[in-house]
Amino acid sequence: MGKKFLEKTLIEELEQGGKNFIPYVMAGDGGLEKLIPTLKSLAESGASAIELGIPFSDPVADGPTIQEAGKRALANGTSLRNVIQVLIESRKEVSVPLIFMTYINPIYKYGVEEFVRDISEAGVDGVIIPDLPLEQSSMVSPYFEKADIALIQLVSLTSSEKRMEEIANASQGFLYAVTVNGITGARSEFTVNLEKHLQKLKEVSQVPVLAGFGISTPAHVISMSALCDGVIVGSKIIEHLQENNHKAIKELIQAKNVEPSFNKVPR
């Protein structure tokens, strides 16, 4: 478990000629008793790893679908501590790497050292903190390094080439390439510069590059996966889980290894 497990899993998928798919789920949406069965189902459907959102009252990077999932989870009494406790008890039932997506406030309130200690015990392999700038990452990175947990960085479309290189060099596990300017949520179109952007990130990154934000259809998965090392899908996964539509989730995940009929960004 840990950073090495996450990186090894993603790289092995690429070496075998495939691409990676990381679904996002909100912990506690529908009740914490559903968490482990949902994670197991996603793993069995072919997820390379799973991103697990921690509900928070002020989720600055989340669009409406994920915000509503967070509200439902908070209404169910979900907290960072009880999510960690569920994983401590049952993490071994889930075969793929797990990544926390949370914000710096809950970590700071929990206590950084205590947080890292507990998620290490819970078998968390990586963490994404969208509102923690690279310049302030030293407040958590020494603890993550000691625990061998990946601190995954996000890079935006508006980043300069120098900034892209700095973020790529700092990212562990994989580099999260944000594909839209704005919050999460399904999109029908992407910027015309995205193909060039992802190509540049692939050139400067020492870890796999995965695209996320706005990806919502099998066609998006196919075309985006052709441009980088895989995708992250959140809002559409949450919608399908709400509808209990596991067939649609499996179709999304399996699209990662479909050869595109054309290598272009959907627009």
Give strand pairing partners of 22.
232
Give the CA angle between residues 206, 49, 243 to the nearest 5°: 140
Look up 51 and say whether it is catalytic.
yes
Give the CA angle between residues 103, 211, 27 to the nearest 5°: 40
Tell me which residue of 79, 147, 150 sits closest to 118, measured CA to CA. 147
Phi, psi of 191 (to 5 degrees): -60, 150
Look up 62 and say whether it is catalytic.
yes
Cα-Cα end-to-end distance for the chain: 39
Looking at 7, 51, 195, 229, which residue is catalytic?
51
Please classify residue 109 by burial: count the beta carbons closer than 10 Å to its beta carbon, then call 0-12 exposed, 13-18 middle and 19+ buried. exposed
Looking at 62, 118, 125, 229, which residue is catalytic?
62
Task: Indicate which residues carry an active-site annotation.
Answer: 51, 62
